[in-house]
Structure 1
């Protein structure tokens, strides 16, 4: 069944402007963590200190992100975002100062946390704009819009790290962090300037009702799906690298990641070009089950080609999961809390990835790379259980109401 095309979506008045500016800012966001590693390691010579500062950045971003999203929902994106961007630029300056002046490591860590706490969730803001722009009769085009968002995010996380690595390795590492911040602030300000596509704010009574919708079981399942997806990502990051090292071919780790990423980009592009007959709940159950089955070859892979083939198959399932999570969020959460909801999904994924990276590292040290793959497989199995239960609840008629259509 044909769906809206990416071209027709971007021809919607105001859509191309906010989408492209958000993509610029997200490229900077994708550069930030690695930029901190290059910066801190280049000045201290310690990966441990660089990891500590980057970890503080990631934890602060995951914890504070949903709270910032609440401000966006309450006071509007156009009013709050410039202030957040100013705070982020100041925080990065605060990070550069102690690193350049060789201040104590704890001060660098605090500065890293401030930078993470003030980085805006441009993905959540852009998704909220699509939801507002395509509400009502155009709601059927939302999956295509979220597929477009998934493509943009994938491209940002392919080009951003490569760009900051090129800058950090060929010149002063501080330049990479400065470039990342310039993209975040410049793209973010241009995004905030697109006023006509910004979602309207709601009254106090509506916001109170909206906050309760974040506690609904349907949305809790989606948070769980993204949490387990983050566990999968974190476990795979450690395990693929460990697998390549165990085979005596560490240089193959980067091509292996590229295989998975390219498969994901292809799947995301193709998924958004179709309008599927099955309900989103049923699609999510099928795709997560498919991901679980596709992780089983990882447990017995014994060569780079077999692992590459398995990673390509698993990569095909990731974009539909992300798109369906966003689509179901718009029908599970009140429109006045959508930015918060999207931010909670991102935070859940980040928390799962951080925890899994530590757990998988210990498992790989003790039992080898396949132990890390087993953690990833277990996470996908838990994800499938949640998705199947969600689909069954929808079949029984307990799926949350369609807030976007009823508001």
Structure 2
């Protein structure tokens, strides 16, 4: 017979085993439900969703306003591309400032400045100013555009700290971004065509101001500024290696990932222009929105699936597996466009391309969090989103030139070229994608204590 002490020990052991199983369950089954239960998540998700809408409204609103005042889609596209390139090149500097001084300290004055520059662009367009003035006004309008998505991603990274839920968070943000690019352009177009040609830009400025200020006010969930961490380290006499004030691009792996998402941006830009040209060439321009919606829908579905899966392989292997599939899908789409006016086939291959985009983009955002110092995360995420915007501008320009000179279907080769070159960079510098700390990251947060596998 067991003694009372032995029975007590057995009960204690069973209780401990049950507790261990319960505590391990979240780590074994990361998913959207667990992600959204992260402490403080909703305080930045809701205002972040509102504040990021203008990002998808800016370029289309500029196109519609400038085309109305000048009568030229070509000029309107050039002014819009100027704003997009300015945003891609300047925005990472605001991300670096946010890492150093805090997101709220940078975002609050930025949204005021952005509203002023948008007002100036509207005035220049409506007052029939010289054409050069449109391009000059577009530069600060794009450069001051608030980068909410990278700031939200940086908050997830600060909350999760190396948890496998970072992959889920990256997928969640990709779905949210994709949804934003469905809602934003529709809202901007409705305002410009139904109210006033400048209404889209006016709404963009107003939402940026209100949403940005509300988001900036959520200081409890923002990552600690690098300057404050440095002061704490100096006061305590310790040195925190990950929080040094260094540029994200000083990390070789970050530069490789920028090249990878630049190629993805060329897919977005190239598909938009090429589908428009293709549907017009076959006399069915009305299905353009449907076909791009199929491409975007494939991207969203894949993003949802990627976030729901617990991956056994590390992000390096996943990226080097998914990116060749993206290049192949883009190549098949380009070849199909040369075969004839087969909209159904092209739509199906467009959906396949969308399905291949999400795993690549999500893995890039997941991977960069393991590569850069904690004090450079917002800047790092901003470099990626900026590279996507730059890739969109380049992809749409190259696809448009190809379509004009060699036929509507040739524009689809722009995504092939962009992703093909990016794949060569990934393969040549794949060793840079491994974090210097060996991939074992102490995770923090509610129920997220585990390590991230690195190949």
Q: Verify same fold: TM over 0.5.
A: yes
Whether the 8 Å contact between 2:248 and 2:377 is mirrored in structure 1 is no
Name 1:47's counterpart in structure 2. 73
Question: How many Å separate the matches in 2 of 1:404 and 1:94?
Answer: 47
Could you report, residue by residue, the CA deviation over 1:86-122 in whole angstroms, capped at 9, with x for unpaired residues? 1111111212222232222222322221111111111
Name 1:30's counterpart in structure 2. 56
Aligned partner of residue 172 in structure 1, secondary structure: coil
Could you report, residue by residue, the CA deviation over 1:242-283 in whole angstroms, capped at 9, with x for unpaired residues? 222222222222211011011111111111111111110101
Name 2:424's counterpart in structure 1. 385
Could you report, residue by residue, the CA deviation over 1:52-100 in whole angstroms, capped at 9, with x for unpaired residues? 3312211211111011111101110111110101111111121222223
Aligned partner of residue 362 in structure 1, secondary structure: helix
Name 2:389's counterpart in structure 1. 350
The Cα shift of 1:210 comes to: 4.7
Could you report, residue by residue, the CA deviation over 1:32-68 in whole angstroms, capped at 9, with x for unpaired residues? 1111222222333333442233122112111110111
Name 1:60's counterpart in structure 2. 86
Residue 182 (structure 2) pairs with residue 165 (structure 1): no
Q: Do the aligned partners of residues 316 and 2 (structure 1) sit closer, same or farther apart at CA in structure 2, a change above 3 Å counting?
A: farther
Could you report, residue by residue, the CA deviation over 1:122-156 in whole angstroms, capped at 9, with x for unpaired residues? 111111110001115xx211010111101110000
Pick aligned residue for 1:320 from 359, 369, 378: 359
Name 2:335's counterpart in structure 1. 300
Whether the 8 Å contact between 2:57 and 2:184 is mirrored in structure 1 is yes
Whether the 8 Å contact between 2:107 and 2:216 is mirrored in structure 1 is yes
Number of positions where the alignment pairs a residue of Structure 1 with one of Structure 2: 402
Aligned partner of residue 33 in structure 1, secondary structure: helix
Pick aligned residue for 1:228 from 246, 260, 263: 263
Name 2:250's counterpart in structure 1. 215
Residue 281 (structure 2) pairs with residue 246 (structure 1): yes
Pick aligned residue for 2:325 from 274, 287, 290: 290
Pick aligned residue for 1:145 from 169, 183, 194: 169
Q: Do the aligned partners of residues 51 and 140 (structure 1) sit closer, same or farther apart at CA in structure 2, a change above 3 Å counting?
A: same
Whether the 8 Å contact between 1:219 and 1:329 is mirrored in structure 2 is yes
Question: How many Å separate the matches in 2 of 1:389 and 1:53?
Answer: 36
Residue 436 (structure 2) pairs with residue 400 (structure 1): yes
Q: Which blocks of at least 5 consecutive residues in structure 1 are unaligned? A: none
After TM superposition, the structure 1 = structure 2 runs for residues 77-156 of structure 1, keeping only pairs within 5 Å, are 77-135=103-161, 139-156=163-180
Question: How many Å separate the matches in 2 of 1:36 and 1:12?
Answer: 38
Aligned partner of residue 294 in structure 1, secondary structure: helix
Name 1:332's counterpart in structure 2. 371
Name 2:235's counterpart in structure 1. none
Q: Do the aligned partners of residues 306 and 287 (structure 1) sit closer, same or farther apart at CA in structure 2, a change above 3 Å counting?
A: same
Q: Do the aligned partners of residues 197 and 208 (structure 1) sit closer, same or farther apart at CA in structure 2, a change above 3 Å counting?
A: closer
The Cα shift of 1:182 comes to: 1.6
The Cα shift of 1:406 comes to: 9.7
Residue 217 (structure 2) pairs with residue 193 (structure 1): yes
Name 2:226's counterpart in structure 1. 202
Aligned partner of residue 220 in structure 2, secondary structure: coil
Aligned partner of residue 87 in structure 1, secondary structure: helix
Q: Do the aligned partners of residues 96 and 306 (structure 1) sit closer, same or farther apart at CA in structure 2, a change above 3 Å counting?
A: same
Whether the 8 Å contact between 1:335 and 1:403 is mirrored in structure 2 is no
Question: How many Å separate the matches in 2 of 1:269 and 1:379?
Answer: 25
Whether the 8 Å contact between 1:232 and 1:376 is mirrored in structure 2 is yes
Question: How many Å separate the matches in 1 of 2:89 and 2:431?
Answer: 31
Whether the 8 Å contact between 1:282 and 1:391 is mirrored in structure 2 is no
Q: Do the aligned partners of residues 207 and 89 (structure 1) sit closer, same or farther apart at CA in structure 2, a change above 3 Å counting?
A: farther
Whether the 8 Å contact between 2:100 and 2:245 is mirrored in structure 1 is no
Name 2:312's counterpart in structure 1. 277
Q: Do the aligned partners of residues 346 and 404 (structure 1) sit closer, same or farther apart at CA in structure 2, a change above 3 Å counting?
A: farther
Q: Of the two, which has the highest radius of gyration?
A: 2
TM-score, normalised by the number of residues in structure 2: 0.82
Aligned partner of residue 183 in structure 1, secondary structure: helix
The Cα shift of 1:164 comes to: 0.9
Whether the 8 Å contact between 2:67 and 2:73 is mirrored in structure 1 is yes
Question: How many Å separate the matches in 2 of 1:97 and 1:248?
Answer: 37
Q: Do the aligned partners of residues 2 and 150 (structure 1) sit closer, same or farther apart at CA in structure 2, a change above 3 Å counting?
A: farther
The Cα shift of 1:326 comes to: 0.8
The Cα shift of 1:286 comes to: 1.1
The Cα shift of 1:327 comes to: 0.8
